[in-house]
Amino acid sequence: MKRCGSALLVMLLLASSPIVATAAPSAVSTIESHKHLGVASCSNSVCHGASQPFRDSNVQQNEFAIWQEFDPHAKAWQSLQSDASKSIARNLGIGDPTAAKVCLDCHADSIAADKRGDRFQVSDGVGCESCHGGSELWLNAHADRSVSHDENVKNGLYPTDQPVARARLCLSCHMGTSDRMITHRIMGAGHPRLSFELDTFTWLHPHYKIGEAWTKRKGEWNGVRDWAVGQGVAAENLLDLVVDEKAGWKGIFPELVLFDCHACHRLMSGRKWGPRQGTGLGPGVVRLNDANLVMFRHVLAPVDKAAAARLLEQTRALHKATTQSRDATFAAARRLRATIEELLPTVAAFNYGPDSLDAILASIEADAKRGEYRDYASAEQVAMAAQSVVVAFENDGKVDGDKATMLRSRLDALYATIKDENSWSVQNFNNALAALRAAAP
Ligand code: HEC
Ligand code: HEC
Ligand code: HEC
Ligand code: HEC
C-alpha cells in the first residue's frame, strides 16, 4: 500500500535530480526536494493553529499551538542564541552560531535560499516542513479528503507515519548523517552528547494522537515495532558513517564521534573494564559505539534467532577489524550493513505480540548477566527499550492496577540508576533490570 507511494517518490526524485541517481534519496534530500512555505503557512486558526482540538476533523488542528508551546523543536533556533551556543561557537571559531550552517542544519530548517517561500523564517527553528517535507505541491491538496495520503506523499509530504522513514528523518539530526554531520570537535567544544530511541522520542512531546481516526487512514501503530526499526536504522547509519570517507577518518584518527564516548572519557582510577561478548575485545581498546547493534540483536530474539547469532558474529568481526586496519574495518562494516539491510523489512513487518515482548526482555536480561552493559550508551538504550516494552504491556492490557504501578516504579528505578553518566554503577543497573523483569507479566 504505502510502499507504492514511496517507490513512486523514489522514481520521481531519480528522474528530477541527477545527484541522487546512484542511491535511494536520503531523508534530508526528500525533505528538501520541494519549496518550504514556512510555519506561518500552517498556523492559521482554521488550519493547524486552533487553540482547542477540532471535533469533526481527522487531525487535532491545534498542532501549531502544541508545537509552539511544548515542543523543543520550536525553540531549536533560539537555543543557538544561548550562552552555551555562543561558547560552543567561540571554541570552534565559527562566529555567530545563529548564522553558522553547521548549527543551522540541525537547529533550524536550513533549506537553500532559493527554496524558501515568502513566509519562511529560519528563526522558526525545526518547523513543520523540517519533518513533513516541503509543502509547495501538497499544501492546498492535503486538506482535501478526496486526495489520498499516498497522493500527498508523492507530492513531497514526508511519510512520518512509516517507522523506517521516520527513523531516517529523526536520526539525520539526532545522530547525524553524512548530510548533517556532528563531529567530536563539536562535542569537544561543549555540545551535549546525542542519544536517541525512536519510540521514546516520538512520544516525548507529541502534537498528534494515534486513535481510530489515525489507524483507519494510516494503519496499525506499534511502539515496539518503532523501537525495533529504530535500532536497525540507527545501526545502519553508524555503519554508513564508518565507511564514509568524508564523514570520518581525518588525519591519523577516525571520527571519534562514532566511538563509545565513555571508552575514553572515564577516570583513570576507574578500573571498570571487563570482557564483553558483543565486542570480543581485550582491555584498553577504543570501541565503536555499538549500542544500537547490541539492541538490534535483542530485536531479533523473537524474529529470527539464527539471524541474531549471525549479527553477533559479524559485530564481533567488525570490532576485531577496527584493531587491524581501515580496509578490514570497511569490509566488515559493509558486510554487517548488508545483513541489517536484509533483515530490516522482516523486522518492520513483524507482529510484536505479548510473547515477543517476553523474548525481548529475556534476551536483554541474559546479556546483563554476561556484563554486556558496562558501556553507558548500551545501558541507556536498554532503559529506553524497557520503557517501550512496559508501554506495550500496558497497551496490550497485560498489566493493570497494582501490577502496572509496580512495573512503572521499577522502570523509574532503572532510569534512576543511569541518571548520571559519570557516576553510575553497572551492578546497580543490572539489579534494577532484574527487578523490572521479575515484575513483568
Ligand atoms: C547533527 C545535528 C546537530 C548539529 C550539527 C548541531 N546540533 Fe545542537 N543539538 C542537536 C540535538 C538533536 C540536540 C538535542 C539533544 C537532546 O536533547 O537529545 C542539540 C542540543 C543542543 C544544545 C542544548 C540545547 C538545550 O536546550 O539544552 C545546544 C546549546 C546546541 N545543541 C548548540 C549547537 C550549536 C552551537 C551547534 C553548531 C556548532 C550545534 N548545536 C550543532 C543536534 C545538532
Ligand atoms: C520533529 C518532527 C516534526 C515536526 C517539527 C512537526 N511534526 Fe507533525 N508529525 C510528526 C510525526 C512523527 C507525526 C506522527 C506520525 C504521522 O501521523 O505521520 C506527526 C503528525 C502530525 C499530524 C497528524 C497527522 C495525521 O495523519 O493524523 C499533523 C496534522 C501534523 N503533524 C502537523 C504538524 C504541524 C502543523 C507542524 C508545525 C507546527 C508539525 N506537524 C511539526 C513529526 C513532526
Ligand atoms: C532538523 C533537525 C531535527 C529533526 C529532523 C528532528 N529533530 Fe528532534 N531535535 C532537534 C534539535 C536541534 C533538538 C534540540 C532543541 C533544543 O533544545 O534546542 C531536538 C529535540 C528533540 C526532543 C527533545 C529531547 C529532550 O531532551 O527533551 C525530542 C523528543 C525530539 N527532538 C524528537 C524527535 C523525533 C521523534 C524526530 C523525528 C520524527 C525528530 N526529533 C526530528 C533537531 C531535529
Ligand atoms: C578516542 C577517544 C575519545 C572518544 C571515543 C571520545 N572522546 Fe571526547 N575527547 C577525547 C580527547 C583526547 C579530548 C581532548 C581533551 C583535551 O583537549 O585535553 C576530548 C575532548 C572532549 C570534550 C571536551 C572536554 C574538555 O575538557 O573540554 C568533550 C565534551 C568530549 N570530548 C565529549 C565526547 C563525546 C560526547 C564523545 C562520544 C560521542 C567523545 N567525546 C568520544 C577523546 C575521546
pLDDT band at 41; cut points 50, 70, 90 = very high
Burial 349-372 (b: 16+ CB within 10 A, else e): ebebeeebbbbbbebbbebbeeeb
In a domain, 343, yes or no: yes
In a domain, 342, yes or no: yes
Q: How many angstroms is it from 201 CA to the middle of ligand 4?
A: 26
Note whether 88 and 152 are same-domain residues: no
Atom of ligand 3 lying closest to residue 204 CA: 29
Q: How many angstroms is it from 75 CA to the middle of ligand 2?
A: 16
| Alpha carbon nearest to ligand 3 atom 32, residue | 201
Note whether 19 and 101 are same-domain residues: no
Q: Which of 371, 395, 427 is the last residue of a domain?
A: 371
Atom of ligand 1 lying closest to residue 72 CA: 26
Note whether 151 and 270 are same-domain residues: no
For 48-60, write each residue's pLDDT tens digit. 999 888 888 889 8
In a domain, 421, yes or no: no
Note whether 4 and 153 are same-domain residues: yes
For 268-327, write each residue's pLDDT tens digit. 888 889 999 999 999 999 999 999 999 999 999 999 999 999 999 999 999 999 999 999
Phi first, then psi, for residue 11 (nearest 5°) are -65, -40
Atom of ligand 3 lying closest to residue 108 CA: 1
The average confidence (pLDDT) of the chain is 92
Note whether 5 and 149 are same-domain residues: yes
Note whether 240 and 364 are same-domain residues: yes
In a domain, 203, yes or no: no
Query: Does the beta carbon of 207 sit less than 6 angstroms from any atom of ligand 3?
Result: no
Structural domain harbouring 236: 223-371
Note whether 245 and 327 are same-domain residues: yes
Note whether 237 and 356 are same-domain residues: yes
The dihedral sign for the CA sequence 420, 421, 426, 432 = positive
pLDDT at 17 over 60: no
| Alpha carbon nearest to ligand 1 atom 6, residue | 103
pLDDT band at 171; cut points 50, 70, 90 = very high
Note whether 341 and 271 are same-domain residues: yes
How many structural domains are present in the chain?
3
| Alpha carbon nearest to ligand 4 atom 25, residue | 188
Note whether 243 and 343 are same-domain residues: yes
Given this model, what pLDDT does residue 23 score? Answer: 63
Q: Which of 131, 147, 177 is the last residue of a domain?
A: 131
Q: How many angstroms is it from 270 CA to the middle of ligand 4?
A: 17
Note whether 244 and 227 are same-domain residues: yes
In a domain, 334, yes or no: yes
The residue with cell 538490534 is 296
3-state secondary structure the chain: CHHHHHHHHHHHHHHHCHHHCCCCCCHHHHHCCCCECCHHHCCCCCCCCCCCCCCCCCCCCCHHHHHHHHCHHHHHHHHCCCHHHHHHHHHHCCCCHHHCHHHHHHHCCCCCHHHECCCCCHHHCCCHHHHHCCCCCCCCHHHCCCCCHHHHHHCCCCCCCCHHHHHHHHHHHHHHCCCCCCCHHHHHCCCCCCCCCHHHHHCCCCCCCCCHHHHHHHCCCCHHHHHHHHHHHHHHHHHHHHCCCCCCCECCECCHHHECHHHHCCCCCCCCCCCCCCCCCCCCCCCECCHHHHHHHHHHHHHCHHHHHHHHHHHHHHHHHHCCCHHHHHHHHHHHHHHHHHHHHHHHHCCCCHHHHHHHHHHHHHHHHCCHHHCHHHHHHHHHHHHHHHHHHHHCCCCCHHHHHHHHHHHHHHHHHCCCCCCCCHHHHHHHHHHHHHHCC
For 219-273, write each residue's pLDDT tens digit. 999 999 999 999 999 999 999 999 998 877 778 888 999 999 999 998 888 888 9
In a domain, 17, yes or no: yes
The pLDDT > 70 percentage for the chain reads 94
Note whether 138 and 116 are same-domain residues: no
Given this model, what pLDDT does residue 247 score? Answer: 74
Query: Does the beta carbon of 152 sit less than 6 angstroms from any atom of ligand 2?
Result: no
Q: How many angstroms is it from 223 CA to the middle of ligand 3?
A: 18
In a domain, 211, yes or no: no
In a domain, 432, yes or no: no
pTM (2 d.p.): 0.95
For 99-118, write each residue's pLDDT tens digit. 999 999 999 999 999 999 99
Given this model, what pLDDT does residue 52 score? Answer: 87
Q: Which of 338, 371, 404 is the last residue of a domain?
A: 371
